[in-house]
Structure 1
Amino acid sequence: MTTIPQDKTRGPLLSDRQKDMIQKFAALGSLFALAVVFSATSNAFLTVNNAMTVALQVTSIALLGIGATCVIITGGIDLSVGSVLALAGVCAALAVKELGMPVPIGMLLGILVGTLCGVINGLAITRAKLPPFIATLGMMMVARGVALEITGARAVSGLGDSFGELGNGAFLRMVSIGDDGFPSVTFPGIPYPVILMIVIAIAVAIMLRRTVLGRHIYSVGSNAEAARLSGVNVARVTLFTYVLSGTLAGLTGCVLMSRLVTAQPNEGVMYELDAIASAVIGGTSLIGGVGTISGTMIGAFVIGILRNGLNMNGVSAFTQQIIIGLVILATVWIDQLRNRR
């Protein structure tokens, strides 16, 4: 029978796993509390259409949050994902419109642009030994500048319906013809971005929990020097997390621009904060070594439901920024208290 270690001055000490579970259940409790409050204040909140809308809105936060979680677990940070998202999206759009590439090839090019940005971030941190904050801050500015330069700071439009299929299509969408002869949507279907989000979340969660690479990611965040002495290639593992983050940012950019059927070089501003917030709300520790994808998904839905509910209740966008900012501050403060204890 196992016992929890005791501290004579503080009482029982909790393991990292126990602390992670407490944080995750706290985030889940917050999620249910928000759902109850907003369902009471708006009759349209608990509807199938709104549920699909929330899930679709959450995809961008969740995909970026998955990458942010892996980076933060290693003890790093990635501030560039919002700008990389924009650069990848406009590159995909320009490849389709200006170069005449098929949409799948153009979007693959956009994802590879995100991957390249992740590689540069990773090499700047592992080879040039730049602090992650500085390296990714530089990439944030460079990627945004390149996106604005290649588009002339104008939106790329006229991309055609096929470009919007990924972002606006849905699986099992049901449409019936009413008595008046007009089509009526009986079930909106599961949006393709939501399916993509679920598949990627499951894949990365399995990678973190069931593979050697995942164990190495946690060990690097817990103690990089001990991991190195144990035979872990710390630089390679760190590089992988930034490449993954960049790739997911590129994918998110393609999905988001597909939803808009227009590529906006100014898209993705402040998205990096949503990504980091979703990870931290879900229990990922900013000092590294602790975090789960399931927790990040809960955190992403907390942010998504909060925004959706505030919109339904007519709260202005400026007030929403204040509220979400306070939520982020409170979450990071709780994380710091947890780490001190």
Structure 2
Amino acid sequence: MAANDGKSKLSFLPSGSTLHKISALLTLLLLILAFSFTSPAFLTVNNGLTVLLQTSVIGLLAIGMTMVIITGGIDLSVGSVLALAGVVAGLVIKAGVPVIPAMALGIMAGAACGFVNGLVITKMRITPFVATLGMMMIARGIALQLTGAAPISRLGEAFGTLGNGTFFRVVEMQDNGFPKVIFAGVPYPAVLLIIVAIIGAFLLQKRQIGRHIFSVGSNEEAARLSGVNVDRTKIWAYTASGALAGLSGMVLMSRLVTVQPNEGVMYELDAIAASVIGGASLMGGVGSISGSMIGSFIIGVLRNGLNMAGTSAFIQQIIIGIVVIGAVYIDQFRNKK
């Protein structure tokens, strides 16, 4: 009875992944509190909306990256795939295709890159690091070759709607005839991020593909012996990561209202950082979309707060690098425990 009572008490204790998620959330709250003292403009509605907008791209990338990391892999190509997807959409729009179908083609181009990653990893038995590193170079090279390394502009106002549109925007006309913005509105990308995060969490937690992703990352051989199609599961995860990189490209290029083939450099590291900070284990088998969202906002708040404090971009990279190393160290310590 005593042993059973001990087990029942221990069952109420939070798991290691839950503790990691709680610590990440506390870190986010502490960052917000700290930056609110360094700049009076930090804790304002407008700045909060700015953080939401800036975090949306990294958040979308982190959702796909989390799925890949849970399988025990890594995707270094998402930044370059983001740029290639934007280039595909921009060139198709220039050819006369409407914006929505053009963006769909851009997302499909991203999914195709992810599908190739999955095939190379599963069929050619090349490690994810090398396979996706190769795709990173290939996708960037194609994007630069197709555009001659020049931006694609004059894509029309409709192209900028996804990245710059808002819900619930309130504008009041003043006596002098000029409009005054009362509430800037909730950015479309932020709403899109929430929708995609909910879908991603549902797939991971409630659907068979999610269970397969976790089982492959926990023990690939055991998953194979239990009937899981390991190759198909990995290909699905990398295709989803590529598609979300393509969607991120649509959001980013739409915000700029110009396609930049050089965009997305180092974004893969931000996505990996967000996933790991949020509790995803680089050993595989552990991770969550909610944790990755917390990690994404930690990265977004860090960048925003440091920018408002006048910190140079180089120092920001150093700080985020230290945060990533700390998160990986905590992950290794958790795995040992």
TM-score by length of 2: 0.96
Q: CA deviation at 1:211?
A: 1.1
The residue aligned with 2:155 is 159
Q: 1:188 aligns with which of 174, 184, 187?
A: 184
- Measure, in 2, the Cα distance between the counterparts of 1:54 and 1:286: 27
The residue aligned with 1:201 is 197
2:140 is equivalent to residue 144 of structure 1: yes
Q: 1:134 aligns with which of 126, 130, 137?
A: 130
- Counterparts of residues 1-341 of structure 1 (less than 5 Å): 3-4=6-7, 18-97=15-94, 99-341=95-337
Which secondary structure does the structure 1 equivalent of 2:15 belong to? Answer: helix
Which secondary structure does the structure 2 equivalent of 1:176 belong to? Answer: strand
Q: Residue 244 of structure 1 aligns to which amino acid in structure 2?
A: A
Per-residue CA deviations over 1:114-171 (Å, capped at 9, x if unaligned) read: 0100110000011111110011000000000000000000111111111101100001
Q: CA deviation at 1:59?
A: 0.5
Q: Residue 181 of structure 2 aligns to which amino acid in structure 1?
A: V
Count residues with an aligned counterpart.
334
Which secondary structure does the structure 1 equivalent of 2:159 belong to? Answer: helix
Which secondary structure does the structure 2 equivalent of 1:101 belong to? Answer: coil
Over the matched positions of the two proteins, sequence identity in percent amounts to 61
- Measure, in 1, the Cα distance between the counterparts of 2:277 and 2:12: 19
Per-residue CA deviations over 1:230-281 (Å, capped at 9, x if unaligned) read: 0111111111000000000001001100000011111000000000110000
Q: CA deviation at 1:179?
A: 2.0
Which secondary structure does the structure 1 equivalent of 2:22 belong to? Answer: helix
- The Cα RMSD (Å) is 1.7
- Measure, in 2, the Cα distance between the counterparts of 1:110 and 1:31: 33
Q: Residue 266 of structure 1 aligns to which amino acid in structure 2?
A: N
Which secondary structure does the structure 2 equivalent of 1:184 belong to? Answer: strand
- Measure, in 2, the Cα distance between the counterparts of 1:139 and 1:335: 27
Per-residue CA deviations over 1:31-84 (Å, capped at 9, x if unaligned) read: 000000000111111111100000000001110000000000000000000000
Q: Residue 263 of structure 2 aligns to which amino acid in structure 1?
A: E
Which secondary structure does the structure 2 equivalent of 1:186 belong to? Answer: strand
Which secondary structure does the structure 2 equivalent of 1:154 belong to? Answer: coil
Per-residue CA deviations over 1:196-239 (Å, capped at 9, x if unaligned) read: 10000001101111111111110000001101110111111111
Q: CA deviation at 1:180?
A: 1.8
Which secondary structure does the structure 2 equivalent of 1:54 belong to? Answer: helix
- Measure, in 1, the Cα distance between the counterparts of 2:263 and 2:329: 29
